[in-house]
């Protein structure tokens, strides 16, 4: 099964609007020349409008870093799916930093994924185990639960027409995010092959499970990216710190081309 690779840059809480404009202006020419791979940048919410205008007419998509599941209401500080959908095609949901620092549960993430689908957004659905869970040999148990609970009640067209492109899964072992300690390519590939795709298969059927793209995230950079992308089950990357460096992000994107 050939799945088109995808590289998404998660800028996290970095970049003012002026900084974002400068970064995108430098990044677009190099990314535009890279065909055969889908490219997404996910700036802070404050920069979505500015970056959207700079990406107009390019093949680079825009994503948000989070959203709430309600369309409107008294939810101070939140951003709704219809607000995100005004500018974005993608939205990162269930990132470990949201789960860890802001207490998001599998049920919360599931509500957000359902809301994203309702508004035509493609979720980049994040899963991954903590260092404590990893050292306790609970990776398979935790990741399987996150997939099943986070994607519960999601409906796909299993007639053969659905290509799975409106869902992206990002496997990010929490102990590898921002630590410089990446999982090995073979270990990451094994988790995807033995846990994530079987869980997707139970939810959506084997055919759909093979069509959904699964990314790796966690200290991906220009030097180690090729090792991950050479693995059969890894379809690209959700990139953190390296997505703020033009040369690194372009190098990672080029490495993903198959």
- Report pLDDT for 31: 95
Asked if residue 133 is part of any domain, the answer here is yes
Count: domains in the chain: 1
Percent of the chain with pLDDT over 90: 88
Q: How far apart are CA 76 and CA 54, in angstroms?
A: 29
pLDDT reading at 90 higher than 80: yes
Told to judge if 95 belongs to the known catalytic residues of this protein, a careful annotator would answer: yes
pTM, whole model, 2 decimals? Answer: 0.95
Domain that holds residue 146: 6-256
- Position 161 pLDDT exceeds 60: no
How far is residue 94's CA from residue 255's CA, in Å, rounded to a whole number? Answer: 26
Q: How far apart are the first and last CA of the chain?
A: 13
Residue 242 lies in a domain: yes
In a domain, 89, yes or no: yes
Distance from C-alpha of 64 to C-alpha of 92, rounded to nearest angstrom: 6
Which of 97, 104, 172, 233 is an active site residue? 172
- Establish whether 172 is a catalytic residue: yes
- The two tokens of residue 195 are 């846990």
Could you say which of 14, 95, 104, 129 is catalytic?
95
The candidate with the shortest Cα–Cα distance to 78, out of 110, 100, 104, 52, is 104
Strand partners, 39: 7, 60
> What is the average pLDDT across 9-32?
97
Q: Is 17 inside a domain boundary?
A: yes
pLDDT at residue 180, rounded to an integer:
77
pLDDT band at 1 (very low <50, low <70, confident <90, very high): low
**Tens digits of residue pLDDT in 213-235:** 999 998 899 999 999 999 999 99
Give tens-digit pLDDT for 61-84: 999 999 999 999 999 999 999 999
Cβ contact 167:212 at 8 Å: yes
Helix (H, G, I), strand (E, B) or coil at 178: coil
Q: Which residues contact 210 (CB under 8 A, 6 or more apart)?
A: 1, 197
Residue 135 covered by a domain: yes
Residue at token pair 């092959």: 193
CATH of the domain at 106: 3.20.20.70
């Amino acid at each position: 099964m050939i799945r088109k690779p995808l590289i998404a840059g998660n800028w996290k809480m970095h970049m003012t609007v002026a900084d974002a404009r400068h970064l995108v202006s430098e990044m677009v020419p190099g990314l535009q020349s890279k065909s055969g791979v889908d490219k997404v940048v996910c700036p802070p919410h404050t920069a979505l409008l500015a970056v959207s205008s700079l990406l107009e007419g390019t093949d680079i998509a825009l994503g948000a870093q989070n959203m709430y599941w309600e369309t409107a209401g008294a939810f101070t500080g939140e951003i709704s799916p219809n607000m995100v959908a005004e500018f974005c095609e993608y939205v990162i949901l269930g990132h470990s930093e949201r789960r860890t620092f802001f207490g998001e549960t599998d049920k919360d993430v599931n509500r957000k994924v359902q809301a994203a689908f309702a508004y035509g957004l493609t979720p980049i659905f994040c899963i991954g185990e903590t260092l404590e869970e990893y050292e306790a040999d609970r990776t398979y148990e935790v990741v399987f639960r996150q997939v099943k609970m986070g994607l519960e009640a999601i409906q796909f067209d299993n007639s053969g027409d659905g290509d799975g492109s409106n869902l992206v899964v990002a496997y990010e072992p929490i102990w590898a995010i921002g630590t410089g300690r990446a999982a090995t390519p073979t270990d990451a590939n094994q988790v995807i092959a033995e846990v994530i795709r079987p869980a997707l298969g139970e939810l959506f059927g084997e055919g759909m499970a093979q069509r959904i793209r699964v990314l790796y995230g966690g200290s991906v950079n220009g030097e180690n990216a090729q090792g991950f992308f050479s693995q059969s089950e890894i379809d690209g990357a959700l990139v953190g710190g390296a997505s703020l460096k033009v040369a690194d992000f372009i190098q990672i994107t080029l490495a993903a081309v198959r």
